[in-house]
Structure 1
Amino acid sequence: MTSEKVSCLIIGSGPAGYTAAIYASRAGLNPVLYQGAQPGGQLTITTEVDNFPGYPDGVTGPEMMIQFENQARRFGTDIRYGMITEVDFTSYPHKVIVDGKKEIIAESVIVSTGASAKWLGIEGEERLNGHGVSACAVCDGFFFRGQDVVVVGAGDTAAEEASYLAKLARKVYLLVRRDEMRASKIMQKRLETLPNVEILWNTETVKLNGEHGLESVEVRNNKTGEETVLNATGFFVAIGHKPNTDIFKGYLNMDETGYIQTIPGSSCTNIKGVFACGDAQDNVYRQAVTAAGTGCMAALDAERFLMEHEVEVMLEESAS
């Protein structure tokens, strides 16, 4: 197995990873960035982005990520295809395996592997993703002003998405598989006060219809078996996200769902020299702009760590 030493390794290539790369490059850290299985992250499956500052006319997700990548390259980031398949954070410097065949010895590691939305796996869902189907109401709700939309889920996230959409859409159908919700009581009370939100209990989605965009949603009552067609142009899946952090388990502190825990006010993890940013550690905001902000934090934290570590090494050498 070949081996390579790097000063700063960035794992992941969404807004967080590319922003970290821009800052790390400008700081002279000579970062190496591995793009992972989905170069550009979740934004590459987002059609229109209208809420990122600096794009007054909007931009497509893939176009934005290409621009982020080009900016990182301009400052000297070594951007590579490849998947990190294994890590070893038990000693310093850190060891990382790429595609099972190359070892990277890294003095600092920035984890920006993001999170993936959980999907239902029903007919039409993948085909219409970005064309009426979404996993983020805050990101895409604006495009459905005055229209009828459907939200799927029973937890706080689903309740929040439905409440947010109620301010924009004409009608919001909230599909709940059981006869009760997991959402907090206060969130459920809030839903009850919204006149344009209708909760359909014991209801599951069967199929999404539409050629070039969503036109209707076929649902079934799992108690009676009755099927209904809801005319809607927006379909929001709010059944949760899964952070892409499995390979770090056993090394980095995480919450019960796998989000990496960082020291408040920083991107620092429980392992020295390892930093986390973006949706891999943010289970609250999950926006491109907040991901970019934490990417900046991670690069600055890594720069500070490397400077302090260099001073420590110099002091140890002078003492000996």
Structure 2
Amino acid sequence: MTADAKLKDVARLAGVSSGTVSNVLNRPEIVSPAVRETVQAAIESLGYIRSDVARQLRAKDSRTIVFLSSQWDEPFVADMIRGAEKHAFQKGMCLTLCPIGDVPEAELAHINHLTEQRVRGVIVARTANPRFTSVALRARDIPTVFVAPEDPERGESLSITFDYFAAGFLAATHLADENRRRITYVGTAEPDRFEEPFLLGCQQALSARENHFEIFHLTATTDEEVRGVAQAIASRRPISRSDAIIVTSELIGHQIRRTQRGNALRVPEDIAIIVCIANPLEQRCSTSFPMVIYPGTLFGQAAIDLLVNYTNFPAETPQRQVALAPQFSTGGGC
């Protein structure tokens, strides 16, 4: 990125005229896709910002924080917005929502507009092109907090993440405290960031206890395969049968419960089921099962705190990645 890049610098790097660069910025529909892409790459490389607003950005006097997302229908995201909006207001800030789709050119136009509007910072949760979003915001030197980034850039990006280890520890501890002796985890075989720390948390919680812990991996979450696992558990002798199951989706929980009831086993009296969503951004509060949940409102508050602290005292914000612990819900909704 070049400090104080000018329009002519973009034109020189892209190998086009200044007029062409102006057209890309103001009337992109009249420029060929290939030329637009070349000019946009030059803008990305130089971090070019139109007008003299670039100099004002460093004044840090803006009180507008933008929430950027392409997944507004997710309950977790909606809860996050509520938490962030209320907390921002308490800090004298205003939260503005910016919906984006899956078209990079349109997203870039939004980000350029945010830059020109001198926003204090951006909170990003669930975009169609997370890597593109990250590069575009960093190139424009906009303070940004990423919520559950797919590829956290340790030491560089500000981020709020899920403490999966704490989730596993909480789930296993709850079951052990309920005198469940044989605990089974049922999850998908696909590797992800959730499972390894989650299972370590479960094992740590049970390390000083005499509980038995086993793991079942599903190659697919079809009814047939889930029934097969549930049937394998139900067919054991009572002395060796699981009396608690941790699942990674409510759908799997319902499938297992139907099978257990078909074997005259009661849920939760004979077999308890706890839901721990592998991707908390997609969690929905259950009225059927106890759940380990991540309250979206707390994530919204934490994102505001991290962003405001960083923009006020960047040199005094050593902790740029904050992992939030989950809470336990009994299943009556949350």
Structure with bigger helix share is 2
When the two structures are superposed, what TM-score results if normalisation uses the length of structure 2? 0.34
Structure with bigger strand share is 1
When the two structures are superposed, what TM-score results if normalisation uses the length of structure 1? 0.35
Q: Which structure: larger Rg?
A: 2
